[in-house]
Structures are given as C-alpha cells and as structure tokens.
Structure 1
Amino acid sequence: MFVLVMGASRGLGLEVVKAALAQGHSVRAFARGASGIKLTHDRLEKFPGDALALQDVRRALVGVDGVVQVLGVSNRDLFGPIDLFSRATAVLVPLMISQGVRRLVAVTGFGAGDSAPAIGPFQRLPFRMLFGRAYDDKTRQERLIVASGLDWTIWRPGVLINGSISGKAKILMAPAQWRNGVVSRGDVAANVVSHLTDVAMIGQKPVIIRF
C-alpha cells in the first residue's frame, strides 16, 4: 500500500513509519516536523503539514491507499482543554470520503470509547485525573470514525513504553477480554501495519497489550 501516516515525526507515529517501510509499504510521513525525520528510504516521502489545516490534509491524501492516524499531545497539554483528536478527525474524514480513500486506521488508547468501563476501579480515578481530558476527546474522535462509513480500525494500546518488536503483544478483540497493560511502541506499530490489509479487522476496536 501507499500509506499516509499522520503524526509521523516522533513516538508511535515514527515507529509506524519504520514498520510500514520494513513490511514493504510506501509511506507519506505527515507531521509539522516531518522535514526533521532522521530516516531516509526510497519509499519514504516526508510531508510537512498541519493535521488541522484542510489544504494540507487534502494534498496529503492525493494518491494514497490508506491512512494511519497517530496523533498525540504533550504532557503539559494534558491539564488544559484538548480537542486535537476530534478536530483533526473532523478534517480528515470528509476529505477521505470525497477523495475516495477508504481505509482508515486510528490509534487512540485503552480507556477511550466503550473500553472505558474496562478500566479497573483502582486505576479509574488517577486515570481520569491525568488523562481524562485527552481521553474524552479520543472518545469524540472514535465516534466520528465509527460514524464515517469508512473501512476503519481503531487500535487501543495500553500504557506505551519505548521498545522494539517483541512479538509477544496480545490483541484483545472481545470486550470481555479488554484490560490494561504495558506494550512497546514497536509491538503496537508492527501489529497496526501487519493488519492494514486484513479485512477481518475492518470495524474492529482491538486493545493491544503485552502484559
């Protein structure tokens, strides 16, 4: 596939870029700091742009087969109003529809949407205090994706840590299985990319953890 990775300059987004290239895909790496990505490859295009800017997103979608949306906010932004996830998705989805790009993969997190009740009672209060604003907006993001009619998958990783691919990550599909845990960015990226063309994942919201 020719994949547009949004949020590609660091963290999990950069790991998705690396995994996609390693698995044979071509990548358009979209981020405000895309030109600073310290990675070169003949199947990599660095595309500076703002996920909230309609013209940037429209140009970035030209010619791609699918989108992996991996957005994040800094720790210092967690205690103020957060609407990046839903606003960026509200820009992206209509443009994908109008340009005929069907495949959308988004990475939100365990605790967003209907996975929130699976957070344990002892984790719930600190989780809400630290991440409540962000995850409320991730929930709004998920609602926009589910209502889009696109061929979507929403991945919900547990607590992200630095680390390479271990091959030991667990994909929890059924709500009864959902639980929190730790997982490396490398494992999440590898699984997100390996299921890009998996039609069985369309319309699914898997939780991914290692332990």
Structure 2
Amino acid sequence: MLLVRNLVPGATRLLHVCNLKNINTLHTLARGALQGLLCLRTHLGGRFGGGGKIHRGREHRPAPTIRGLTVLLTIIGGSKGTGAQLASQARSAGHEVTVLSRSGQGPEGVRVLTGDATDPAAAARAVQRADAVVVTVGGAKGNPRHRADVTRTVIDAMKKEGVQRLMVQSSLGAGDSGSLMPAPLRLAMKVALAKPLADHNEQEAAVKDSGLKWTIVRPTGLTDKEPAGSWQALETGDSGTLRGSVPRADLAACMLGLLEDEDSIGKAVGISS
C-alpha cells in the first residue's frame, strides 16, 4: 500500500463516480445496493474502506519537490480539469511546467504549447528536456480510443527524447482495479462507462508495456469541489474499498506526491476521498 501525503486544506464531500443520469438508469439493476451506497455516503462523509490510510495535510504547505529538486514537468492535457490543477500546484512548488493542449490554454505561469498530442511532432516538442511527463487527457468526440492514442504517441516521443518518468491518469474500474470497488458500483461502471473504460484499458496496457518508469493513478469520480485535504490510496490486493469521488485538487496533490515517491514506479494506484 502506498501512503500518500495530503497537502491542501478544505472540506470533504462525496459524490457518485457516475453522473446522476447514469446512476438513475442503472437503479433497476442494483436498486437496493446503490441505495445502500447512498446511505454510506451520507453517514461516513467520504471516508471509506478499512484498508486505506488517510493522511491529514498541513495548511499552506507547498507541494513536495520531486526528489528535492526543481524539475521540468510536462503535462499532456493541462488546460483544464486535473491537468490544470496539477500544473498550478507544480508551478507553485517551484517547478518549471509545460502544458500541451489543443486549445492553447493553460494556468498562469506555465509554458503553453498548442497542439494535438496524437501528433508525433507536437508530442516530441512537449516532452523535450522534461524530467517527467504526466498524461491527463480525457475522451474526444469521434475517437473512442483517444486516451490510448495520445498515450502511445507520448510514449514514443519520450523514448526518442530519452525521458523516462511517466504518470498517466486512468480511472478506477480500469485494468484489475475492480476488486477495489463495491460490487454494485463495479457493475454500474461496467454498464454506464463501458467505452471509456475500454479506452483506459488500452491506455494502461500501453503504459505497462512501455519500458518506462511509469505510475498509473486510478481516481474515482472527479469533482471540482473544494479540496478535502485527505484521500485514500490503494493498490489491487490491498484490503478495503474505494467509493464515491475525489476533488481534482486533491488528486493533483496526490499525483505530485507519487511523482516524488520512487516506490510508486511500476504501480497502479486507486484514489478516492
């Protein structure tokens, strides 16, 4: 089990992994069990699972430096969502951050490159001189394999540029992580999120076959709520389960911590509040 430090204060709140529309559609399949999950969510306030440990953060403490050094960090898909949170936190910690996005947008203070990460030339330009690369891209209309395509292109670029450290944001439910979820939630995700999970499975397979120093993070449902300042990190085989959601700011802080932790290399870690 990886023990991850938390670095930001805030309030805890738990939401569904799937959106409300998907959950309502699946009520007929697992009504009683899902209602039980709702009750657990209300009573436990987001702290679930017997096996994971929650680490309280310190207010106003900066994110950790990777191996104690200022690093060159490239984020693929850092214009919004978790990628933007990660870029901001890494920049605040004193790192040099490059963001590659199709929109050409990114958080203040980072180097922004405009381009499609499935373009080998754009990917190569983004990862040049990087100490670590993080892929946080989401899905794309018209391409059900977008995450996998981007990840393969980035891996090829990293190999050509001699960059070794890779982190990829996947999803709980992908790969062998189903055992970390309650059975009703696992069923719900398989039905409601079959296509995204297939993309993530292909993405993870590319990462594991890359020969790079990789870490995969598998968050539960993501929210833009205030950071909770705590989370759980479980590997497949750990006792306990992961349920609900995690604020993107907490996930970003977790990812920075994992980047500095050499024990996370070659591991896939599930994350929830």
Q: TM-score under structure 2 normalisation?
A: 0.70
Q: Work out whether residues 137 and 147 of structure 2, in 8 Å CA contact, stay in contact via their aligned partners in 1.
A: yes
Q: Work out whether residues 183 and 208 of structure 1, in 8 Å CA contact, stay in contact via their aligned partners in 2.
A: yes
Aligned AA for 1:53? D
Q: Distance in 1 between matches of 2:128 and 2:253?
A: 25
Q: Deviations over 1:163-185 (max 9, x none)?
A: 24332111113423343331110
- % identical aligned pairs: 28
Task: Give the drift of 1:23.
Answer: 2.0
Q: Distance in 1 between matches of 2:129 and 2:227?
A: 30
| Number of the residue aligned with 2:15 | none
Aligned AA for 2:74? L
Q: Distance in 2 between matches of 1:57 and 1:81?
A: 18
Task: Give the drift of 1:161.
Answer: 1.0
2:93 equivalent to 1:12: no
Of 173-182 and 137-146, the range deviating more from structure 2? 173-182
| Number of the residue aligned with 1:63 | 129
Q: Distance in 1 between matches of 2:235 and 2:183?
A: 21
| Number of the residue aligned with 2:249 | 186
Q: Distance in 2 between matches of 1:181 and 1:207?
A: 12
Q: Distance in 2 between matches of 1:30 and 1:179?
A: 31
Aligned AA for 1:131? L
Which consecutive unaligned segments of at least 5 residues does structure 2 have? Answer: 1-70
2:221 equivalent to 1:159: yes
Q: 1:117 to 1:195 in 2, by over 3 A?
A: closer
2:163 equivalent to 1:93: no
Greater C-alpha radius of gyration: 2
What stretches of structure 1 move > 3 A for 4+ residues in a row? none
2:108 to 30, 40, 59: 40
SS in 2 for 1:27: strand
| Number of the residue aligned with 1:52 | 118
Aligned AA for 2:249? G
Of 133-142 and 120-129, the range deviating more from structure 2? 120-129
Q: Deviations over 1:134-183 (max 9, x none)?
A: 11110111011011110000000111111243321111134233433311
SS in 1 for 2:108: coil
Q: Deviations over 1:100-122 (max 9, x none)?
A: 10000001010011113444332
Q: Distance in 2 between matches of 1:118 and 1:168?
A: 18
Larger RCO (CA within 8 A; separation ≥ 6): 2
2:85 equivalent to 1:23: no
| Number of the residue aligned with 2:237 | 175
Q: 1:162 to 1:191 in 2, by over 3 A?
A: same
Q: Work out whether residues 165 and 190 of structure 1, in 8 Å CA contact, stay in contact via their aligned partners in 2.
A: no
SS in 1 for 2:260: coil
Q: TM-score under structure 1 normalisation?
A: 0.89
| Number of the residue aligned with 1:145 | 207
Q: Distance in 1 between matches of 2:188 and 2:257?
A: 33
